[in-house]
Amino acid sequence: MISASIKMALVRLQWRRKLYGPPKPHLLRGAIADQFPEEPMFHQHQDGAVLYRYPLIQYRWCNGEGVIAGFGEGAEILVRVPFNDMPLALGNDQVSIENVLISCREELISITPKLVRYRFVSPWLPFNQKTYEPYLTMDEQGKANERDRMAVANLLLMLKGLGIRVEERLYATVEAGKSVGCRYKNQNLLGFYGNLLCNIDLPDGVAIGRAVSHGYGWIERC
């Protein structure tokens, strides 16, 4: 791969009244999925089964507003949705969408001669409960090496999910910052803030790791 182009859409939903409290991307995902039960792109389920693929529609939360990111086919679906005045149930909050801000763009992804630094806007979840246990037994250098290995694996999975094949060697390292406990599907997982350095040019708003459809692992260029 020298460079590849992807279509990206970002939809920001503003409510008729201010919402307070913790981020609600999982509630936003459930509410939108309820509106479109027959479209698996919104919820990663089809015929009662989970679709194990990189989600092309992802849900986030920023300053009390819902944010939905779409990539490739997901972007094409998002821009056709009539979000205005759509009633949504976000847990105990019944809300209605007042304003919809949509941005669409074509983004180039390419291998770079030097490492590019990105920051994790939301916690990165590299491990599941099973892989987290051996990580705990490692010394500090071993943990750093394992985070770097998982970063490369996560990047490759993301690129594959976007339909991009990388033939060059991919390098990545993580400057781990604060670690936080995260709850995902009744599991307690470890999330990391900090920086990701890799030899690939990525658009702001892509995400890597576990639970990206729930708002985790979202990165932006430093």
Tell me the per-residue pLDDT of 138-148, one tens digit each, with 9 for 90 and over.
999 999 999 99
Question: For residue 22, what is the DSSP state?
Answer: S
What pLDDT, in 10s, does the model give residues 49-96?
Answer: 777 889 999 999 998 999 999 999 999 999 999 998 888 999 888 998
Strand pairing class (93-120; 3-15)? antiparallel
Q: Answer yes or no: are the C-beta atoms of 26 and 214 closer than 8 Å.
A: yes
Closest CA to 42 of 86, 85, 81: 81
pLDDT at 1: 65
Domains of the chain listed by start with CATH number: 3-106 (3.30.70), 110-221 (3.30.70)
Phi, psi of 210 (to 5 degrees): -85, 155
pLDDT per position as a tens digit, 181-211? 888 887 888 999 999 999 999 999 999 999 9
- As a whole number of angstroms, the distance between CA 200 and CA 116 comes to 7
The answer to whether the predicted template modeling score (pTM) of the entire model surpasses 0.85 is: yes
Beta-carbon contacts of 99 under 8 Å, excluding residues fewer than 6 positions away, are 13, 14
Average pLDDT (9-17) is 94
